[in-house]
Chains A and B, each alone.
Chain A
Amino acid sequence: EDQVTQSPEALRLQEGESSSLNCSYTVSGLRGLFWYRQDPGKGPEFLFTLYSAGEEKEKERLKATLTKKESFLHITAPKPEDSATYLCAVLPSSNTGKLIFGQGTTLQVKP
């Protein structure tokens, strides 16, 4: 069964304290892996797409990487405005492949 697991569920950091969020996945063929940011009371906001192992994408203080079994979202020197829930999703390559979301990691960055 296709599955996405994110860890940790919650993460508290001090401003400037770098860390990584993990997204482990089990799918029968991967068409793509996606990272989203969701602020409280808002809809998810698309951040990155990764297609193949070894690929990396960067945006400001965020860097997403992909291996054959997991993806990491690295946050360098985070700021309080980076506080949000980060969602990982995978799109299986099967004919009926639909986007499968993980439960998310809620990040809180304290000043």
Chain B
Amino acid sequence: DSGVTQTPKHLITATGQRVTLRCSPRSGDLSVYWYQQSLDQGLQFLIQYYNGEERAKGNILERFSAQQFPDLHSELNLSSLELGDSALYFCASSVSGIHTGELFFGEGSRLTVL
């Protein structure tokens, strides 16, 4: 158990809809990262938050947005969903605000868009 909690574990929705994925980092970790994992693209970095502030941005679509709240949990909002958005979405956390490779990942949220 990494200590990172993600909900929901599975989500099935239709094209055009909007969903919110939630992540609670490990106790004491201030950084939260969101990653997308699909069969053809592998693990792709989306965005990083550190102590409530956006710290780094990766290949995140404009239809996607995220935020980190004062209690350090984070939400990833996916809107106007397309079939190609079907993937595993992982949250990871770390203590440092500097982008690091030593991350603790949650078990992921599997999104299926029909």
Stretch of B12-20, B62-70, B75-83, B100-108 contacting A (4+ beta carbons < 8 Å): B100-108
Instruction: Give per-residue flags for B71-114: 1 if the beta carbon is below 8 A from chain A beta carbons, else 0.
Output: 00000000000000000001010000001111111111000000
Is B100 touching A91 in the complex (CB atoms < 8 A)?
yes
Are B43 and A44 in touch, CB under 8 angstroms? yes
Dominant SS at the A interface?
A: strand
Tell whether, in the assembled complex, residue A91 and residue B99 are in contact, meaning their CB atoms are under 8 Å apart.
yes
Chain A hits for B92, CB < 8 A = 43
How many residues of A sit at the interface, in one of the four size bands? 20 to 34
Residue among A49, A89, A91, A99 facing the most chain B CB atoms (10 A cut-off): A99
Please, how many residues of chain B have a CB less than 8 angstroms from a CB on the other chain? 21
Assess the B2–A43 pair: CB atoms within 8 A.
Answer: yes
Pick from A45, A90, A97, A104: contact of B2, CB below 8 A.
A45
A34 at the interface (CB under 8 A from B): yes
Residues of A within 8 A of B (CB): 31-34, 41-46, 49, 87, 89-91, 96-104
